[in-house]
Amino acid sequence: MRTIDIHAHVVPQSLWKAADAKQEWYSYRHEPGDGLGTIVGDGKRTAFNTPKVRYTPQERMKDMDAQGVDVQVLSIHTPFFGYHLDAAQGQALASDVNQEIAATAREWPKRFAGLATLPMQDVKTAIDELEHAVTRLGLKGAELDTHVNGEQWDEPKFLPFFKAAEAMGAVLFYHPQPQNNFLRARNPRHGLFNSLGVILDDAIVTATLICGGVLDACPDLRVCIAHGGGPACHAMGRLDRGWERLPVEQRTPKPPSAYQKQLYYDTVTSSEEALRFLLDQVGAERVVIGSDWPFVPWKPGPGGWVQGLQSLSQEEKDKILWKNLETLLKL
């Protein structure tokens, strides 16, 4: 049984080389400490709970074998999007990361594919980098934050980006930054900013893309939301009611629930019940496996977890494990 994982993070080797040389990496700097220390940038601190963030591709493949994963779709660890940088420095960071991911995918094409990171603080530069990443580097699309320095994705300025991504057939994978959501400021206790704040951001970007008319304007746009879209699909009834009661604010001709099946969602829901609900709402054709490597410990692995779920048919499991992503990413 084949397993293709859309949700696998990379901390660039170029960042670690800069850290070892005691140099900054595009304004990010390393502070020694417990384990692998801390990366500081944009006023935020990123510590690591696993040594796997420094794994070489060879070490990563051994870990994939142990977890029963055949292919990982690599994307940058989200604290390092670099949207806070000026456009030129943001483009330099993106180019550096994208070349590294593409080189890994080229050397081991049966084990890796890749998603670009983009300097979304400048839309034209981001479009140019996406085109280069897809047409020249062979990457499959891009990973994006759930907002851009506080700007939401239904702002008119982003529509040319979506049109360009749609024309390229690029896959856009949305993943929030745990360090950069509103719940950290509201209640920093109990780890809620990660366990709950992250999936609330997933739901917000899902609702924004739908209610803001992005999916209506770009019906062939290929978008996947991390963590099963958070509670977005659970909230579709409320979103539909809001659409019906506030016609002056309607930006789509159809209610929000009519668009939820245009999106893809990964399996990082952390419970069988949540995944079963998601499948019942959008169908197995719209759900793909994710692991959140290397930050979520899976036993016996993300594919083994799906295989062991009693409420899923084997046909659903096959679609989730490999068939959907093989088609979506043209592997």
Which single residue is written with the structure tokens 């070490």?
A: 59
Cβ neighbours for 91, distance < 8 A, ≥ 6 positions apart: 119, 122, 125, 129
Q: Is the CB of residue 142 less than 8 Å from the CB of residue 193? A: no
CB 314 within 8 A of CB 277: no
For residue 294, say if its preceding peptide bond is cis, omega within 30 degrees of 0. Answer: yes
132 and 117 Cβ atoms separated by less than 8 Å = no
- Is residue 115 within 8 Å of residue 144, measured between CB atoms? no
**pLDDT at position 180:** 76
Does the predicted model carry a pTM greater than 0.85? yes
- Amino acid 179: pLDDT: 77
Q: b or e along 291-324 (b: 16 or more beta carbons within 10 Å of the residue's beta carbon)?
A: bbbbbeebeebbbebbbebeebeeebbbbbbbbb
pLDDT of residue 282: 98
**For residue range 137-193, what is the model confidence (pLDDT) as tens digits?**
999 999 999 999 999 999 999 999 999 999 999 999 999 998 778 888 899 899 898
Q: Identify which of 242, 264, 240 has the alpha carbon closest to the alpha carbon of residue 254.
A: 240
What is the strand order of the sheet 29-31 is part of? 29-31, 38-41, 44-47
∠ Cα 229 231 237 (to 5°): 115
Position 49 pLDDT exceeds 90:
no
Listed by start position, the domains of the chain span 4-14+54-328
- Write phi, then psi, for 123 (nearest 5 degrees): -65, -45
For 226-259, how does the pLDDT look when each residue is reduced to its tens digit (9 = 90+)?
999 999 999 999 999 999 998 888 899 999 999 9
pLDDT of residue 71: 98
Of 171, 173, 279, nearest to 220 by C-alpha is: 171
Q: 85, exposed or middle or buried, with CB in 10 Å at 0-12, 13-18, 19+?
A: buried
Q: What string of H, E and C letters represents the secondary structure of 85-111?
A: CCHHHHHHHHHHHHHHHHHHHHHCCCC
- What are the pLDDT digits (tens) for 259-318? 999 999 999 998 999 999 999 999 999 999 999 999 998 888 999 999 999 999 999 999
- 103 phi/psi in degrees, rounded to 5: -65, -40
Cβ–Cβ under 8 Å, residues 57 and 108 = yes
CATH superfamily of 4-14+54-328: Metal-dependent hydrolases (3.20.20.140)
Contact between 280 and 266 under an 8 Å Cβ cutoff? The reply is no
Q: Tokens for 129?
A: 């980098």
Average pLDDT, rounded, for the chain: 96
